[in-house]
Amino acid sequence: MAHVAPFAVLADSTRSRIARLLLDAPGGRASVTALADALGLRQPTVSHHLARLREAGLVLPEKEGRRVWYSLVADERDRIAGLVAATTAQAGTGAAAGNVARGTVPFDRDRAVERLCERFRGVHSRETVAALLDESLQLLERRAGDGAGGPLGPRAVVFAASRLESIARTSGASAARTGMGTPGRASVSMLFVCVRNAGRSQLAAGIMRQLAGDRVIVQSAGSEPAPELSAGVVRALAEIGVPVGDEFPKPLTDEAVRAADVIVTMGCGDACPVYPGRRYLDWDLPDPHELPLEDVRGIRDEVEARVRALLFEVMGGVDAGGAAGAGVAGAEEPAS
């Protein structure tokens, strides 16, 4: 067994907590169900982390009837205990906040459903709200992958709310009743899509939100979402004063496309369904993932020029500052 693997595997806070639970469990073993309940995670997510621990030679499964029990490898218990203790000490007083950030605090699904029902009262039934929240959580868990430390519960609520708003717009429900746009003012809906929803589409969405305000409803998505936003993209946006807030990579959904007036794809046009009555644009831009920061800045500036040109066009010749007929220096029309 490789001796470096446990350090890397247990660096993940969820796997470290699983190891701690197994160290403290009665009889030194626990089922996936028990671990999921203790962690506030769904069973497929726990099974994924247990598989990684097993690959590293740290846990063993034992089948009894229909139930599978997991325990730490006996010869590794002391070493694992030391690694877990070191991880906990390194976390220090920020451990509780880290658990929240990484989704290991239990998620009260029923209360989340109630809040969404209040927000969409008269627009969506409770059954629709609950089903969309559950499906959104499953979609995010399926794509969480190794190293994704985001808060899946809160993220699922944000994702579900966005999808419910899209469905409401598509079905013609009142924007005022769903909290979208400004009462009495028509809004254009734009969807920015790239592969990972961690770079190009986040750059475009963030800049468009800041420039357009409530004149444009902005969403972004990815055909193969990454676990987290690109650090270089977050840095490049921060440098020009564009906050990312609670944004996170989201999968492309049919309702998001149907609700959009303008769909801009960047490297993933084939993955985006085509519906009549929408305007489709494809921007040929390099993926900033793992590029040097200087290159990311160049992509950011190109995205901003395209966003400004698009906003100027869809607003009927009114620039980002609200002045009619003012051109945008250095901006080119986006390629269609």
Select from 180, 206, 227 the last residue of a domain: 180
Residue 67, domain CATH: 1.10.10.10
Enter the pTM of the model.
Answer: 0.56
Asked if 294 and 199 sit in the same domain, the reply is yes
Asked if 219 and 317 sit in the same domain, the reply is yes
Distance CA 35, CA 14 (A): 11
What is the pLDDT at residue 179? 40
| Domain hosting residue 123, numbered range | 107-180
Asked if 258 and 311 sit in the same domain, the reply is yes
Asked if 225 and 332 sit in the same domain, the reply is yes
Select from 180, 201, 227 the last residue of a domain: 180
SS3 content of the chain, % helix, strand, coil (to 5): 55, 15, 35
Longest dimension (CA), the chain: 75
Distance CA 35, CA 124 (A): 34
Asked if 329 and 194 sit in the same domain, the reply is yes
Distance CA 257, CA 270 (A): 13
Asked if 24 and 90 sit in the same domain, the reply is yes
Residue 192, domain CATH: 3.40.50.2300
Closest by alpha carbon to 294, among 245, 234, 232, 249?
232
Q: Which two tokens stand for residue 276?
A: 């009549």
Classify residue 282 by its DSSP letter: E
Asked if 229 and 129 sit in the same domain, the reply is no
What is the pLDDT at residue 317? 65
Please say whether the beta carbons of 200 and 237 come within 8 A: no
Asked if 335 and 186 sit in the same domain, the reply is yes
What is the pLDDT at residue 50? 92
Q: Which two tokens stand for residue 271?
A: 């993955």
Distance CA 19, CA 115 (A): 34
Beta strands in 148-272, from DSSP E residues, in sequence order: 188-194, 216-222, 262-266
Select from 180, 195, 222 the last residue of a domain: 180
Asked if 222 and 325 sit in the same domain, the reply is yes
Distance CA 203, CA 305 (A): 11
Asked if 38 and 64 sit in the same domain, the reply is yes
Q: Which two tokens stand for residue 117?
A: 């029902």
What is the pLDDT at residue 200? 97
Asked if 175 and 255 sit in the same domain, the reply is no
pLDDT in tens, the chain (336 residues): 344 355 567 777 788 889 888 988 888 899 998 898 888 888 888 898 899 899 888 999 998 888 899 999 988 887 787 777 655 544 443 444 344 334 445 678 888 898 899 888 888 999 999 999 988 988 887 766 544 445 678 888 889 988 998 898 887 644 433 343 433 344 799 999 999 999 999 999 999 999 888 889 999 999 999 988 998 999 999 889 888 887 899 999 999 999 999 999 999 988 888 999 999 999 999 999 889 999 999 999 999 999 999 999 998 865 555 544 433 333 333 343
What is the pLDDT at residue 85? 67
Asked if 88 and 125 sit in the same domain, the reply is no
Domain count, the chain: 3
Q: What is the residue-wise DSSP string for 47-71?
A: HHHHHHHHHTT-EEEEEETTEEEEE
Distance CA 175, CA 169 (A): 7
- Counting beta carbons within 10 angstroms of the beta carbon of residue 316, is it exposed (0 to 12), middle (13 to 18) or buried (19 or more)? exposed
Please say whether the beta carbons of 182 and 253 come within 8 A: no
Q: Which two tokens stand for residue 283?
A: 């921007």
